[in-house]
Amino acid sequence: MQTSLNGTISLMVDTMTPMVKAILVSIGNIIGIAITVFTCILFAKIFRAIIMLVYDFSRGTIFIDKNKFTFLSSSYYFGIHR
């Protein structure tokens, strides 16, 4: 047995023209690709920040400014701002 919500949704999809369906599918694909690219960039930035933090600790060049609570290290020059 179909619920009424599923029935109305399938009825709406069935009555749509193929053009509208294609437009909706393409919009969905574009949004999905944008979300995927955004998450990939975010994870890459986090991964690079962690690597640079470990690298700074291993070199001993990291120091924490207690007045401003900012990390000032070589990772700062790689464009990672905390």
The domain segmentation of the chain, as residue ranges, is 4-78
- Spatial CB neighbours of 56, under 8 Å, sequence gap ≥ 6: 62, 73, 74, 75
Tell me the percentage of the chain whose pLDDT exceeds 90. Answer: 10
pTM above 0.95, yes or no: no
pLDDT for 39 equals 92
- CA distance linking residue 13 with residue 23, whole number of Å: 13
Looking at per-residue confidence, does 24 or 56 come out higher? 24
Mean pLDDT of 4-29: 74
Tell me the percentage of the chain whose pLDDT exceeds 70. Answer: 50
3-state helix, strand, coil in the chain (%, to 5): 70, 5, 20
Q: Is 1 a residue whose pLDDT tops 50?
A: no
